[in-house]
Amino acid sequence: MATHFTLSLSPSKPFKNSTFFTKNPFLHFKKPLFITSFQSPQPAAAAVVQTFWQWLSDQDVVSAKTPAKPGLVPQGLGLVAQRDISRNEVVLEIPKKLWINPDVVAASEIGNVCSGLKPWCRSEEELAELQGTQLLSTTLGVKSYLQREFLKVEEEILVPHKQLFTSPVTLDDFSWAFGILRSRSFSRLRGQNLVLIPLADLVNHSPDITIEDGVYEIKGAGLFSRDLIFSLRSPISLKAGEQVLIQYNLNMSNAELAVDYGFIEAKSDRNMYTLTLQISESDPFFGDKLDIAETNGLGEIADFDIVLGNPLPPTLLPYLRLVALGGTDVFLLESIFRNTIWGHLELPVSRANEELICRVVRDACKSALSGYHTTIEEDEKLKRKELNPRLEIAVGIRAEEKKVLQQIDKIFKQRQSELDELEYYQERRLKDLGLVGEQGEIIFWESK
């Protein structure tokens, strides 16, 4: 039987610049995986924080009574409670005049205002630690995207308008700015698609906080004022000296957290692997299959996120069966079945079809697992050592991806062992027609 069946486990979903503005309700301070700025020694950092605080004070944004203040924390910089703070209490209010959003940028001359920070991209040696992972593909995709965008910006803005810049803007400068915007901006706020909020962007993430909604908002400055302010609340009660923390995004995977924020969590539900399925254009039934997929909310290419310890996504098996449909099973593609075919695909169609999807998925898992240069056991041993933050992320990501791949392989190995026990379409149809006896035998009706 011809198998027009494409399954990709690596690379991961391609980087798309559109997700930059919509994916994350909050983007924060910690350094992205592929871009970072230098860390100053603590005394120098403390001096910078004090200068920043004085500037905010001069702008009448903060005072001695402000509940939280920037300070040195384990993550680098963060917001520290100056007194006891109750749950849902407002911690900061930043007026719109200090926000940096697209309108502000568009109305100003472009200048080099970040010359004190020295950006750099993840080295090739560090990328080598991500060998085989979907995170590597995403990271390289971002770097490639930045290089393309920089060439466009250089041609259309930097060279023709070089008088606006006090010094040449390099790819590193552009990458650093992108990293800051991606990791420190707020989005999907009232009337604001993307905005940088000074001071508020220092708030760090806690995996222990499970509340996202209502932590920050844009609201009016007062009853008779047209001014807007950004308001940040503490989702939990705090004692003086404790760090103000929030939940960045409950739905992001560890790979996404690593790319955007430069950290991962130990929670298993953050560990996922993306299966990418595709209806081949060379499939003689491409049009019919695509129509069925689109009718059921999918498309020619479909991504399925498999989470460690969780069941398979409910639409994965039906889509797999649709993509693999061939041979004597193609009668299900006829128009008479168009309104009911998805229901049929939710159950095994035929032994040949089910055997094919099991084999293809397992082969893809084995191929993906062979792309890693370490075993899970080797990674677990490394995780028990003192690692630098970037290596710790790489080891954590590749170990958990392999666990998810092994989980997928185990699921389909189990299905392979049950192929003779499954009930397929023809058997179900015969039962519906009353042509199967109690012992499973086919009943032949003779005319009298």
Annotation says 248 is catalytic? yes
- Is residue 352 scored above 50 in pLDDT? yes
Query: For 234-285, what is each residue's pLDDT tens digit?
Result: 999 999 999 999 998 888 888 888 878 888 888 888 888 888 899 999 999 9
Domain boundaries, the chain: 5-13+266-432, 25-251
**Any binding-site annotation on 248?**
yes
Task: Tell me the pairing of strands 243-246 and 204-205.
Answer: parallel
Q: What percent of the chain has pLDDT over 70?
A: 77
Fold identical between 5-13+266-432 and 25-251? no
**Any binding-site annotation on 319?**
no
pTM, to two decimals: 0.70
Bigger pLDDT: 228 or 101?
228
User: Which CATH class name applies to 5-13+266-432?
Assistant: alpha beta
**Any binding-site annotation on 204?**
yes
**Any binding-site annotation on 201?**
yes
- What is the pLDDT at residue 23? 33
Please determine, looking at this structure, whether the domain spanning 25-251 carries the CATH number 3.40.190.80.
Answer: no
From the number of C-beta atoms within 10 Å of its C-beta (0-12, 13-18, 19+), residue 116 rates as exposed
- What is the pLDDT at residue 130? 59
- What is the pLDDT at residue 438? 62
Residues 6+ apart with CB under 8 A from 336: none
Confidence bin at 328 (pLDDT 50/70/90): very high
**Any binding-site annotation on 216?**
yes
Ramachandran angles phi, psi of 73, nearest 5°: -135, 170
Q: What percent of the chain has pLDDT over 90?
A: 40
The two tokens of residue 378 are 């080797």
The per-residue pLDDT of the chain, averaged, comes to 80
Residue 230, by phi and psi: left (phi above 0), alpha (psi -120 to 50) or beta? beta
Residues 6+ apart with CB under 8 A from 192: 99, 101, 186, 218
What would the mean pLDDT of 437-445 be, rounded to a whole number? 59
- What is the pLDDT at residue 326? 94
Per the residue annotation, which of 145, 248, 319, 424 is the catalytic one?
A: 248
From the number of C-beta atoms within 10 Å of its C-beta (0-12, 13-18, 19+), residue 424 rates as middle
Query: For 172-183, what is each residue's pLDDT tens digit?
Result: 888 888 877 777
